[in-house]
Structure 1
Amino acid sequence: MTLKEKQDRILVLFEHLTSLTKHQLPEDQRDPRLHDLGHLHRGELFSCFHKEHLEEATHLYETLYKAKNFDDFIHLCEEARQIVNEGMFVYAASVAVLHRDDCKGLAVPPIQEIFPDRFIPAETITQAMKDDHHRKEHEDLVVDIEETGNILNPEQRLAYFREDIEVNAHHWHWHLVFPATWRPEVMGKVKDRKGELFYYMHQQMCARYDCDRMSVGLQRMIPFQNFEETLEGYSAHLTSLVSGLHYASRPEGLHIRDLNDVSLQEMERWRERILEGINLGHVHDDHGKEVELDEEHGIDILGALIESSHESKNEEYYGSLHNWGHVMLARVHDHDGRFHENPGVMSDTSTSLRDPIFYRYHRFIDNMFQEYKASLHHYTKTELTFPEISISHVTIKAKVPNIIHTFMATDELELSHGIHLDGSTKVKYHHLNHEAFSYEIQVENHSDTVKHGTFRVFLAPKYDELGNRLILNEQRRLFIELDKFHHGIHKGHNTIVRNSTESSVTVSKIHTFNELKAGVGVDEKNTEYCSCGWPQHMLVPRGNEKGMDFQLFVMVTDWEGDHVNGEPSLICADAVSYCGARDHKYPDKKPMGFPFDRPIDARTPSQFATPNMSFTDIRIQFSH
C-alpha cells in the first residue's frame, strides 16, 4: 500500500463527524478489543482534562496503537468510529496516527476542519448553512466571520489573539503529542522532559499573551488568586454541532463550586501540598519515599505532578490541580449538572485559549513553577559566559532595520469536511501577521579553533504599562522565545544570518484536507512534530500604531556542553523548543527558557550581560 493510499484511508475516518448518529455497533458484533468502550455518550463534549473521559480515551488510543498492522488499525478505527463519542474518537485516533511506526509520514487533518464549530462562531456557521440551502449548482461559497464582541468589553481587543484559529489548534495538537496519560511501558516510547515541556509551553503562552495585552493598551493580566474569587464573564459564541448546545457562557460574578467529582477543599489541599514540597525541596512518591526536586529534574517532576500526568510521583496525594481546574472553570455555570448544560470552552484543549480565564489560571499555575525556580541559585557569570566568544552587534533585517511591521491578513477555512454541505463552503477570517525579517548576528571568535554555538533568541517589551523601564527580573517573565539554533563560529569575525521562518518555535506548514487528499505533504520524512508548533504568523506580538519598544535578546552558549548525544538528524522538528524531537531526548541540556527561567538579581541588562549576550532595542509597529 502506498503512503498516499494510507493517507486516503486515514482522511475518511475524520470526515463529517459532526453528522454521526447515536446508532452504535451492538456489543456482540464488536471486535473484542473494543468491548469496554462507549461510556461517554455521543453528542457530549469530550474533555481530555476530565479523568473519566481521559481514562476511556487512553484505553482507546492504546488499543489502536497496539493494532497488529495498518489494515488492523484501520479496521479498529472504523469500528470505534461507530461506537465512541465523536470528540474522543478524534483525540484517540489522532494520538495513535501520530505515534504508530506504520503511520510515519501520514498527517492528521487539521482539527479546525474536522470540527469547525470549535473555531467559527455559531452565527457564521448558521449563515453558511443557510447559504448552502440556496446554493447554485457547482457554486463555491464564501462567508465572512462574525465578530464575537464589541468595545464595551475591553478584553475584545485581544480577540485576534485568543480566537486565532491556529493558536487554538496548536494547543490541541500539543496535547496530542504529549497526552497526560502517556504510559512509556505500554507505548514503548519515552517522552523526554514531558513535565518540563508542559511548564514551558504554557509559560510561554502566558508571556506572549501579556506582550499582546500591552500592545493593545491593556495591563498585564491579574493572575487567578484563589478558589473563592468571583470570575469575569465570557461568551464564546460557539455551538457544538454534535450536541446542538452552546458552549456555555459565563455570566459576570460567578465563582467555582464543588463538582460531583472534586471539591474546592481538595483543590486547595493539593495546592498546599505542592507548595510545601517546593518549599521543602522534595516531594513524596506513592511509597512515602522522598524525591528531591533537584536542579536537573525538579521542574520535570513538578510539571508531571501539577498537570497531573501518568508520571506524577503521587497522584493520590498531590491530585490533579491543572486538569480539574479546567473542568471546574468550565462547569462554573452548572456545577452539579442539574441543567444538562454543555461545559464552557475551558473543558477542551481546542477551545480553552479563547477564554481570558485560561491565561489567568495558567499564570496561577506558573507562579507555582516560579516559586520552585526561585529556590534555585541565580546563574553565575561562569554559567552564563562562553569564553572567547562575544557578540558585537545584532540587527533585525527588515524593510526598515530594527523595525518589524505587523498587520491583519485574510485567510479562509473550509467547512465542508466537518459539516455535511452540498459543496465547498469557506469562512473568510482575519489574523495577525508580520513582514518577513531575519536576524543578522555579528560574532567574534577570539580563539584559534572553530567553536560551535547554541544561539538563543528572545524578545520582551522594554517598558511597562505606565511607560516605566521594566527591571530585568520583571521583564524576564515577558521574554518570549523566538528561536534556538546551532551554528559553527569560525576564528575571527562571523556574520550569521537566520530567517524568522526557520524558528524553532513555529510550525512551518499545516496541510489542509484538500492538500492531503491531493498528496501534498504526504512524506515518509514527516513526524508527529511536523504539525506541532506555534503558528508562524503569531511569532511576534502585535505592537502598536506608533511603534512599541521591545528588546531583542541574543545569547550564544557552548553547543559542546548543550547538546545531547551529538546532534541527531531531527526530521521536520519544526518547533523543537515547544515540542521536543521525535524519539530523541530534548536536544538541549540547558533548562527550558534559559537564561530567563530563574530570578535575576541584576536590575538592568548591562549589569546582567556577559560578552556572549546582546540586548538590542527594536520596535514593532502595527498597521491597520
Structure 2
Amino acid sequence: MTVKEQQKRILDLFHHLTSLPKERTPPTDDRLKGVGHLERGVLFSCFHETHLEEATDLYKILYGAKDFDDFMGLAKQARDFVNEGLFTYAATVAITHREDCRKLKVPPIQEIFPDRFVSAESIVHAAKEAINQPDQDIVVEREETGNILDPEHSLTYFREDVGVNAHHWHWHIAYPATWDASVMGREKDRKGELFYYMHQQMCARYDCERLSCGMQRMTPFHNFHEELEGYSPHLTSLISGLHYASRPEGFSLEDTEDVSLVEMIRWRERILTAIHLGHIIDDEGKDVKLDDEHGTDILGAIIEASHDSKNPFYYGSLHNWGHVMMAAIQDPDGRFKENPGVMSDTSTSLRDPIFYRYHRFVDNIFQQYKDTLHHYTKDDLLFSGIEVVSVAVNAKVQDLVTTFMKDSELELTYGINLGTTHSVSVRYHHLDHEPFTFNISVNNNTGEAKEATVRMFLGPKFDELGNRLHLDEQRRLYIELDKFHVSLTPGKNSIVRDHRDSNVTISKLRTVAQLREDSGEDDHYYCSCGWPEHMLIPRGNHRGMEFDLFVMLTDYTADSALDSTPEGVCVDSLSYCGIKDHKYPDKKPMGYPFDRPIDVDIEEFLTPNMTVADVKIKFRD
C-alpha cells in the first residue's frame, strides 16, 4: 500500500465526525472493551481527569496495534463507539507517534471541527447558502463575536486566530499529559520545562499585542475567589447542539463535582512551599532537589500535572483542574446540563481572556522558582572571542516591519456534512506581516573556526505609560524569534536569516484537499506543532511601535544536546516543540538568557557576543 493510499484511509477516519449517529456500534475487538464510557455529544476535555484516563487507554491501544491494518481496524471500531472528541484526541496521538504512520499527516483540527474555530452565526450562514445555491462553491464572511463595548474586543484577532488555537491543540497532542515512557517506549525530553516555556511565550506574546493596541498589560489571575470578567465565545458544538457556555460578568470559581477550591488552594501552597524549601517530596516521602538543571522540568510535571509528576496525590493537578473549573463556572455542579466554556478544550481555550491571565498566574509560580536561582554573571554569558557587531532587519524599509490584516478561508465540508459536493468555506481575517530577513555582522576573533548558536528575541521597549521598561520587566515580555546553528570562520562573518526559516514557527500546514493529493515523500514536517508563521511578530501600531531586537551568540559545542540534528519528521518548530523522539536540542534553559531575574540594566547586561538594535513594527489597517 502506497503512502498516498494510507493517507486517504487516515483522512476517512476523521471525515464528518460532527455527524456521527448518537447510537453507538459496540466494538468486536476485545482490546476495546474498556473504552466507551464518555457518551457521544459530551465535550471531551483533555484537562478532565476521567476523560483523559479513557483517552489514554484508547491511544495506548491504538499505538500498540501490531501493524497499520490492525491499527485501522481498531480505529474504525473506536470511531463508531467512543466519544467524538475523545476519539479525535486519542487517534491523533497514536498517528503522530506510531512508526508506521511516520509519513502520514493528521488533518488540521480546524477542518475536523470547524465549529471550534468560527462562530455559530458563520456556520448557519454558510449552511443556508449551501442549501440555496447547491450547484455553486460558497464563501461567507466570518461573523464578529463582539464589539468595542467589550474592552477586550481589540484582541480578538489574536485570541481567535485559527493558527494560534490549532498550535495549542497540536502541542498537547505532541506532548500528552499522560505520556508514559515505560509503556510508549519513547521519552519526552524536558516535557515539563516545555510546558512552562511554551505557555510563558504565549503570555509574553499576548502582552506584546496588548501594548500594540494601547492597552495595559494583563492583570494575572491571583485569587481563587476573585470576580472574573465576562466572556461569550459565540461557538456552538455540532456534536451536541449546545452552545459553549458564556461567562457572565462578576462570576467567581466554585467547587465542582470533581474538585474543590480548597484543594486548588492547598496544591498551590504546597508547590510554593516546595519552591521556598528548594525541594519537593516524592510519592515515597523522599526529598527531590529543585536544582538548576532539572527544577523547571520537575515543577512543570507537577503543575500540569502530567504522568511524570513525582507526587500527583500530594501536589495535585493545579493547571488542568483550573481549566475545568473556569469552564464550568456558570454551571459548577452540572444541574443545568450545559456545555462547559471554551477553557475546557485545548483548541478553544485561547479564545478566552482568562486563559492568559490564568497562565500568567501559573507562570508567576515558575518565576518564584527562577528567583531562587543564581543570576547569570558576565562569565556565564560570555562567548570568548566572539563579537556581535550589528544586526539589521531588511524589509521594504530597513528596521521597520509592516503588519496588516489578510484574508484566508476555512473549508467546512470535511468536518460538517452540508449536503453538497461543492466547497463551502468561511473567509476570515488574520494578522500577517511583510517578508523580512535578519542581517547579523559577527567578528570571530579567536583565530579559528567556531560553531555558534544564534539566539534572537524581540521585546517592547516601553510600557503602557511610555516609560522605558527595565530589563527585568522586559525579559518576561521578550518573545523568541529564532534559534539556529551557524559556522563562523575566523575574522568577519555576515549571517543572513529569512524569517520563514524560524525555528519557532511551523513551515507549512496542509489542508485536507492538499493531503488527499500528497505523495507522502516530503516528511520534513513537525506533526502540525509550531507557532503560525503569520503571527511571528506582534501587530505593532499605526505610528510604528518601538521594539528591542536582541541577538546573542553562544558556543554551539557546549549548547547542543545532539551530535547532529535528525533529518525527517518533526524537526520543524524546535524551540516550542522540540524534536520528536529525540532530546531537546539545546542544553541551555529554555528562554535563555531571559529565564532568570536580571538586576542590571541592558548596558551592564550586554557582553560582546550580544547586541540590541532598535526595530519598529507598523500596523497598516
> When the two structures are superposed, what TM-score results if normalisation uses the length of structure 1?
0.98
Q: Which residue of 2 aligns with 1:407?
A: 404
Q: Which amino acid aligns with 2:469?
A: L
- Provide the secondary structure at the position in 2 that maps to 1:148: coil
Q: Which residue of 2 aligns with 1:505?
A: 504
What are the equivalent positions in structure 2 for 1:291-370 lying under 5 Å apart?
A: 291-370=288-367
Distance 2:25 2:460 in 1: 56
Distance 1:384 1:458 in 2: 15
Q: Do 1:106 and 1:526's aligned partners in 2 also have CA atoms closer than 8 Å?
A: no
Per-residue CA distance 1:485-507 (angstroms, 9 max, x = gap): 00011100001000000001000
Distance 2:577 2:545 in 1: 30
- Provide the secondary structure at the position in 1 that maps to 2:388: strand
Q: Which amino acid aligns with 2:187?
A: V
Q: Which residue of 2 aligns with 1:274?
A: 271
- Provide the secondary structure at the position in 2 that maps to 1:460: strand
Per-residue CA distance 1:206-231 (angstroms, 9 max, x = gap): 00000000000110000001100000
Distance 2:35 2:90 in 1: 12
Q: Which amino acid aligns with 2:447?
A: D
Q: Which residue of 2 aligns with 1:12?
A: 12
Displacement of 1:582: 1.4
What are the equivalent positions in structure 2 for 1:480-559 lying under 5 Å apart?
A: 480-519=479-518, 522-523=520-521, 525-526=523-524, 529-559=526-556
Q: Do 1:570 and 1:581's aligned partners in 2 also have CA atoms closer than 8 Å?
A: no
1:107 to 81, 99, 105: 105
Displacement of 1:523: 2.9
The percentage of counterpart residues that share the same residue type is 63
Q: Does 1:30 align with 2:21?
A: no
Distance 2:95 2:453 in 1: 33
Per-residue CA distance 1:537-585 (angstroms, 9 max, x = gap): 0000000000000000000000010011322324351110000011110
Q: Does 1:66 align with 2:64?
A: yes
2:253 to 252, 256, 259: 256
Q: Which amino acid aligns with 2:501?
A: E
Q: Do 1:16 and 1:418's aligned partners in 2 also have CA atoms closer than 8 Å?
A: yes
Displacement of 1:461: 0.2
Per-residue CA distance 1:387-407 (angstroms, 9 max, x = gap): 000001100011100001000
- Provide the secondary structure at the position in 2 that maps to 1:83: coil
Distance 1:425 1:326 in 2: 33
Q: Which amino acid aligns with 1:622?
A: F
Distance 1:493 1:530 in 2: 38
Per-residue CA distance 1:70-119 (angstroms, 9 max, x = gap): 00000000000000000000000000000000001100000000000000
Displacement of 1:22: 1.2
2:47 to 42, 49, 59: 49
What are the equivalent positions in structure 2 for 1:87-166 lying under 5 Å apart?
A: 87-137=85-135, 139-166=136-163
Q: Do 2:174 and 2:527's aligned partners in 1 also have CA atoms closer than 8 Å?
A: no
Q: Do 2:212 and 2:539's aligned partners in 1 also have CA atoms closer than 8 Å?
A: yes
Per-residue CA distance 1:590-615 (angstroms, 9 max, x = gap): 0000000000010x211110000001
Q: Which residue of 1 aligns with 2:425?
A: 426
Q: Which residue of 2 aligns with 1:195?
A: 192
Q: Which amino acid aligns with 2:368?
A: E
Q: Which residue of 2 aligns with 1:84?
A: 82
Distance 1:375 1:275 in 2: 12
Q: Give the direction of change, closer, same or farther, for the CA distance of 1:368–1:259 in structure 2 (3 Å limit).
A: same
Displacement of 1:153: 0.7
Q: Which amino acid aligns with 1:502?
A: D
Distance 2:176 2:308 in 1: 11
- Provide the secondary structure at the position in 2 that maps to 1:591: coil
- Provide the secondary structure at the position in 1 that maps to 2:152: helix
Q: Which residue of 1 aligns with 2:587?
A: 589
Q: Does 1:169 align with 2:166?
A: yes
Distance 2:521 2:466 in 1: 50
Q: Do 2:406 and 2:429's aligned partners in 1 also have CA atoms closer than 8 Å?
A: yes
Q: Which amino acid aligns with 2:304?
A: E
Displacement of 1:416: 0.2
Q: Which amino acid aligns with 1:620?
A: I
Q: Do 1:208 and 1:541's aligned partners in 2 also have CA atoms closer than 8 Å?
A: yes
Displacement of 1:526: 4.0
Displacement of 1:524: 6.0
Q: Which residue of 1 aligns with 2:468?
A: 469
Q: Which amino acid aligns with 1:517?
A: R
- Provide the secondary structure at the position in 2 that maps to 1:48: coil
Structure 2: runs of 5 or more not aligned: none
Range moving further from structure 2, 418-427 or 273-282:
418-427
Q: Does 1:567 align with 2:564?
A: yes
Distance 1:415 1:105 in 2: 25
Displacement of 1:136: 3.7
Q: Which amino acid aligns with 1:410?
A: D
Q: Do 1:396 and 1:437's aligned partners in 2 also have CA atoms closer than 8 Å?
A: yes
Distance 2:287 2:566 in 1: 38
Q: Do 1:104 and 1:524's aligned partners in 2 also have CA atoms closer than 8 Å?
A: no
Range moving further from structure 2, 116-125 or 559-568:
559-568
- Provide the secondary structure at the position in 2 that maps to 1:599: coil
Q: Which amino acid aligns with 2:201?
A: Q
Q: Which amino acid aligns with 1:17?
A: L
Q: Give the direction of change, closer, same or farther, for the CA distance of 1:279–1:570 in structure 2 (3 Å limit).
A: farther
Q: Do 2:394 and 2:439's aligned partners in 1 also have CA atoms closer than 8 Å?
A: yes
Q: Do 1:457 and 1:552's aligned partners in 2 also have CA atoms closer than 8 Å?
A: yes
Distance 1:226 1:154 in 2: 22
Distance 2:73 2:575 in 1: 36
- Provide the secondary structure at the position in 2 that maps to 1:88: helix
Q: CA RMSD in A?
A: 0.8
- Provide the secondary structure at the position in 2 that maps to 1:4: helix
Q: Do 2:389 and 2:441's aligned partners in 1 also have CA atoms closer than 8 Å?
A: yes
Q: Does 1:598 align with 2:600?
A: no
Q: Which residue of 1 aligns with 2:236?
A: 239
Q: Which residue of 1 aligns with 2:436?
A: 437
- Provide the secondary structure at the position in 2 that maps to 1:482: strand
Q: Which residue of 1 aligns with 2:615?
A: 618
Q: Does 1:216 align with 2:183?
A: no
Distance 2:134 2:474 in 1: 56
How many positions carry a matched residue from both structures? 618
Q: Which amino acid aligns with 1:20?
A: L
Q: Do 1:507 and 1:530's aligned partners in 2 also have CA atoms closer than 8 Å?
A: no
Q: Does 1:288 align with 2:285?
A: yes
Per-residue CA distance 1:320-342 (angstroms, 9 max, x = gap): 00000000000000000000000
- Provide the secondary structure at the position in 2 that maps to 1:600: coil
Distance 1:115 1:565 in 2: 38
Q: Does 1:396 align with 2:393?
A: yes
Distance 1:567 1:610 in 2: 28
Displacement of 1:10: 0.2
